[in-house]
A and B are shown apart, each in its own frame.
Chain A
Amino acid sequence: MNTSDIFNFLKPKNELEKQEDTSTVQNQPFIPNELWVKCPVCKKAVLSSDLNDNKKVCPNCSYHFRIAARQRLEITVDEGSFEEFDAEMTSTNIIDFPDYTRKLKNARLNSGENESVITGKARIGGCETVIAVMNSQFMMGSMGTVTGEKITRAFEYATKQELPVIVFTVSGGARMQEGILSLMQMAKTSGAVKRHSDAGLLYITVLTDPTTGGVTASFAMEGDIILSEPKALIGFAGPRVIEQTIRQKLPKDFQSAEFLLEKGFVDKVVPRSEMKETLTKLLILHGSIPEKEDKEEKEGDEQ
């Protein structure tokens, strides 16, 4: 045997060994135009259409920009498969909190959405699932009674229909403007998650930047499988609150997705480009049978 043959049989490279692409994009002239977005990490200017085509991930340094809930749905679920639940449901100023009515109005205008979460039913890689996607553009994804209600209803529907649930979280926490009733949403959603879980059904959470406070301390951390996007900030208390409490600076990358992975609170850090594939695999591994996407073929099968 030729000695060199021995070395032809190689252990497949694992994810840690995969080389980061270190090639840098050429220095583009900086044009202060809305078509260009400056990446907060590598400081390079990226054409905003390129950024959108790349699922809002910096093509240069892989920084994951925050992404609106609708766009998240678009890149996650099979085209045309999403059926929204409770789209019209919207918050009111239930405890008469100062300035809340105006804030809600602004949030609706800014986000184009009625609440901080979109819920519904969809197919991912042909697998039917209930899905909830939170929206950072709506009051930083804070959890009010309607947010909690929509998530609870989504879980109750999934339990009844024996479907898995996938929740993409992004949240600053409970919505202070709804007082104690926002805190109650933590218990309410947890109850619905527990019933879904006790029915033997799969719940996957995908933590995205940032996931903190009451959402972390409830349904975000209750998944059977907890995934996260790279570098997402995930914590119970926000970093500023911790720094004020302990009166010292926090180490770099504290509360990052990778930090939580190391500490054992996240199952897997998944880049946005691999999210749909990962979710599909997990759904299939838990008994989902992918429907063929071609509608005519499906109808043909049924005959």
Chain B
Amino acid sequence: MSAFDNVTAARANNRPTAIDYITRIFGDSFIELHGDRRFADDKAVIGGIAELNGKPVTVIALEKGRNLKERVDRNFGSAHPEGYRKALRLMKQAEKFHRPVLCFVDTSGAYCGIGAEERGQGQAIAENLMEMMTLKTPILSVFIGEGGSGGALALAVADEVWMLENAIYSVISPEGCASILWKDSTKTAEASECLKLTSKDLFKLGVIERIIREPKTVDSVVFESFKTLIGQTFEKLEASDTETLLNKRYNRFRKY
């Protein structure tokens, strides 16, 4: 499988999106919470509280939408500043109530548009990076599809970062890279190889802690073991005191 096959798989329309993961892992326990308290509710970001093994957990996800109508409604998973500010609000809430944060990342990138710039897309992402670095509760980020640049990182300054086998994580889209490098946006296959954006490459580079194997079909057994893994990880992270947790998080990113 080439890197570009991976890109295609990560973007495939029939791939499970964040809602599928939330539904299958948390069932009815998930309560969605809306809005950034400043401007609006960004539908590209889903956030709320759920129950995991009898304990509360804050869940925040970039959601692309499962069909065309949903995709349009959710801006294809490209968040505006208010989406990142909603995420930060819910993280702060999680910190206050001492519950861990689970993020699902699936976005081609933060939205590029007039409103996004006017409301400080760069500032919103920057604030998340800074605040997440010292958020006094465990954070786990799972890349389930596309991880596009700063818009993905804004939900991934975490204690552990995992990737689904065919998910991708990149500083720039292969198209963007090809058009800058070779003035030819069709050379995406070459660009995909160069960027080292597959889960295997990123594991080798030490950017992620774990690769989650993908089943050939939607298999509830897989979600069940995934859930167990998340629970165990939070238990492990919660066992260390806050200072140790935050030092580890700082050093996790300091090493690059």
Q: What is A's interface to B at a CB cutoff of 8 Å?
A: 95, 97-99, 145, 148, 152, 174, 176, 178-188, 190-195, 197-198, 213-214, 216-222, 235-237, 241-242, 245-246, 250, 254-255, 263-265
B119 in contact with A220 (CB, 8 Å): no
How many residues does chain B have at the interface if contact means C-beta atoms less than 8 Å apart? Answer: 46
Least Cβ–Cβ distance between B91 and chain A, in angstroms: 14
Q: Please report the C-alpha to C-alpha distance between residue A255 and residue B134 in the assembled complex, in whole angstroms.
A: 30
Q: Please report the C-alpha to C-alpha distance between residue A163 and residue B130 in the assembled complex, in whole angstroms.
A: 19
Taking A181-B207, A214-B149, A255-B117 as given, write out 4 further A-B residue pairs in contact, using a Cβ cutoff of 8 Å, ordered by the A residue number: A181-B205, A222-B126, A237-B116, A246-B112
7 A–B pairs (Cβ distance < 8 Å), ordered by A: A176-B171, A179-B197, A180-B170, A190-B157, A193-B130, A194-B130, A216-B126
Asked if A242 meets B150 with Cβ closer than 8 Å, knowing A152-B254, A198-B134, the reply is no
What residue of chain A has the Cβ atom nearest to residue B170's Cβ? A180
A242 in contact with B122 (CB, 8 Å): no
- Would you list which residues of chain B between 193 and 221 have a CB under 8 Å from chain A? 194-197, 202, 205, 207
Chain B residues, Cβ within 8 Å of A176? 171-172, 177, 180-181, 195
Q: Please report the C-alpha to C-alpha distance between residue A235 and residue B180 in the assembled complex, in whole angstroms.
A: 19
What secondary structure prevails in chain B residues at the interface with A?
helix
B114 in contact with A179 (CB, 8 Å): no
Q: What is B's interface to A at a CB cutoff of 8 Å?
A: 110-114, 116-123, 125-127, 129-131, 133-134, 149-150, 153-154, 157, 169-172, 176-177, 180-181, 194-197, 202, 205, 207, 249-250, 253-254, 256
Chain B residues, Cβ within 8 Å of A263? 118-120
What residue of chain A has the Cβ atom nearest to residue B120's Cβ? A265
Give the tally of cross-chain contacts (CB within 8 A): 151
Asked if A179 meets B196 with Cβ closer than 8 Å, knowing A190-B157, A221-B123, the reply is yes
B117 in contact with A237 (CB, 8 Å): yes
A217 in contact with B130 (CB, 8 Å): no
Q: Please report the C-alpha to C-alpha distance between residue A106 and residue B93 in the assembled complex, in whole angstroms.
A: 49
Least Cβ–Cβ distance between B80 and chain A, in angstroms: 11
B112, B121, B170 — most chain A CB neighbours (10 Å):
B112
Least Cβ–Cβ distance between A174 and chain B, in angstroms: 5
Least Cβ–Cβ distance between B201 and chain A, in angstroms: 8
What secondary structure prevails in chain A residues at the interface with B?
helix
Least Cβ–Cβ distance between A228 and chain B, in angstroms: 13
Chain B residues, Cβ within 8 Å of A265? 120, 123
Q: Please report the C-alpha to C-alpha distance between residue A169 and residue B204 in the assembled complex, in whole angstroms.
A: 32
Least Cβ–Cβ distance between B109 and chain A, in angstroms: 9
Least Cβ–Cβ distance between A264 and chain B, in angstroms: 8
Least Cβ–Cβ distance between A89 and chain B, in angstroms: 15
Q: Please report the C-alpha to C-alpha distance between residue A179 and residue B171 in the assembled complex, in whole angstroms.
A: 6
Q: Please report the C-alpha to C-alpha distance between residue A182 and residue B256 in the assembled complex, in whole angstroms.
A: 9
What residue of chain B has the Cβ atom nearest to residue A245's Cβ? B112
B150 in contact with A183 (CB, 8 Å): yes
Chain B residues, Cβ within 8 Å of A193? 130
A236 in contact with B116 (CB, 8 Å): yes
A235, A250, A255 — most chain B CB neighbours (10 Å):
A235
A250 in contact with B157 (CB, 8 Å): no
Chain A residues, Cβ within 8 Å of B127? 221-222
Asked if A184 meets B121 with Cβ closer than 8 Å, knowing A145-B256, A176-B171, A194-B133, the reply is no
